[in-house]
């Protein structure tokens, strides 16, 4: 569905955006692939890898999702949008709450309005496990963003623009995440551990991108897509990266959870299970559950909860080492 189409990625110079561009260029032949981001240095660095002379479909578009006029200009003629732009560092969002709201909430509103006005066909927004029962500002802004995107399907009126959300857990090796942090500290001989019981959902960049692209084909508009992914324990990760290092327990940081949740008990009432993923359906009056039930979806049990500590898939220390090496 992406061949001969125009695709735009907000936050396109981030970890997800770079991998997404790589995979799209390998698998599809888009008319245009637009990288929308506010960092000119990252765009320059990315253009050294994905040169417009080698990939004539590539466009580098400077702009910020906070700027509605710039989004309107960028979205002209676009068929599909992947919204990956966000301020995602939990401590930074706690210390700079206004900035997180401007990007993650107001930015989401701007993307929705621009997509509707430009008659974009499909928009998929990236979410996070921290948006389920949020305890920090980042999670709260992403929950608000998710609600805005789902409501965008009603807001679009007679326009054909449809919005969906993909929610998944920690991405292996993404910038600012725990893997590069532990690698950096390996030489010190001490790895700080917030809580030895801590668990997290775990997904690779490649898996995350491929799931998002798959959801464009699955989406009707209004759904949350949640992949079935394994969990890992923070102690196993520390051993996998730095087996000879001492572990220092420092306690959890402000706004942090011991375990993460991607589907809450309240969401379970509207959740369908498929072989490799879940779909959380919206509560719109016009929504028909038959849309996805006909594709093999089965309602989850009452009180179902998809959490990192009760997951039935786990990654071993050896598997973690292989993933990190790759």
Structure tokens at 296: 């093999």
The answer to whether 240 and 320 are in contact (CB under 8 A) is yes
- The angle subtended at Cα 220 by Cα 215 and Cα 224, nearest 5°, is 60
- Residue 19 known to be catalytic: no
In whole angstroms, give the CA distance from residue 162 to residue 292. Answer: 16
The answer to whether 222 and 284 are in contact (CB under 8 A) is yes
Nearest to 16 by CA among 40, 42, 41: 42
H helices of the chain, where? 15-27, 40-49, 68-75, 90-95, 97-101, 107-117, 137-155, 178-185, 205-218, 234-241, 265-268, 290-293, 317-325
The answer to whether 234 and 196 are in contact (CB under 8 A) is yes
Q: Are strands 170-171 and 190-193 parallel, antiparallel or unpaired?
A: unpaired
| Burial tier of 16 (Cβ tally within 10 Å: 0-12, 13-18, 19+) | buried
- The one catalytic residue among 19, 88, 130, 228: 130
The answer to whether 63 and 57 are in contact (CB under 8 A) is no
| Burial tier of 61 (Cβ tally within 10 Å: 0-12, 13-18, 19+) | middle
In whole angstroms, give the CA distance from residue 29 to residue 1. Answer: 10
Structure tokens at 232: 């890992």
Could you give the residue numbers annotated as active site? 130
């Amino acid at each position: 569905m992406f061949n001969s189409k125009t695709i735009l990625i907000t936050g396109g110079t981030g970890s997800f955006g770079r991998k997404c561009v790589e995979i799209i260029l390998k698998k599809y032949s888009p008319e245009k692939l637009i990288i929308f981001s506010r960092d000119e240095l990252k765009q320059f660095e990315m253009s050294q890898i994905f040169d417009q002379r080698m990939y004539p479909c590539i466009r580098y578009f400077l702009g910020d999702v906070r700027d509605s006029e710039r989004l309107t200009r960028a979205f002209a003629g676009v068929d599909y949008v992947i919204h990956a732009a966000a301020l995602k560092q939990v401590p930074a969002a706690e210390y700079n709450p206004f900035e997180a709201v401007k990007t993650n909430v107001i930015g989401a509103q701007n993307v929705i309005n621009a997509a509707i006005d430009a008659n974009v066909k499909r928009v998929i927004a990236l979410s996070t496990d921290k948006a389920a029962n949020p305890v920090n500002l980042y999670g709260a802004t992403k929950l608000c963003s998710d609600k805005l995107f789902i409501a965008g399907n009603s807001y679009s009126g007679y326009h054909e623009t449809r919005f969906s959300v993909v929610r998944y857990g920690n991405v292996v090796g993404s910038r600012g995440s725990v893997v590069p942090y532990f690698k950096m500290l390996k030489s010190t001989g001490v790895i700080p551990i917030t809580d030895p019981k801590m668990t997290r959902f775990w997904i690779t960049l490649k898996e995350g991108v491929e799931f998002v692209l798959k959801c464009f084909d699955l989406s009707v508009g209004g759904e949350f897509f949640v992949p079935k992914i394994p969990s890992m324990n923070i102690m196993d990760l520390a051993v996998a990266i730095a087996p000879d290092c001492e572990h220092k327990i420092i306690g959890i940081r402000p706004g942090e959870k011991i375990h993460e949740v991607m589907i809450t008990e309240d969401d379970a009432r509207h959740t369908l299970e498929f072989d490799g993923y879940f779909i959380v359906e919206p509560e719109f009056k016009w929504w028909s559950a038959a849309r996805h039930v006909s594709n093999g979806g089965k309602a989850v049990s009452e009180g179902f909860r998809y959490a990192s500590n009760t997951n039935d898939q786990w990654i071993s220390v050896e598997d973690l080492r292989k993933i990190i090496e790759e």
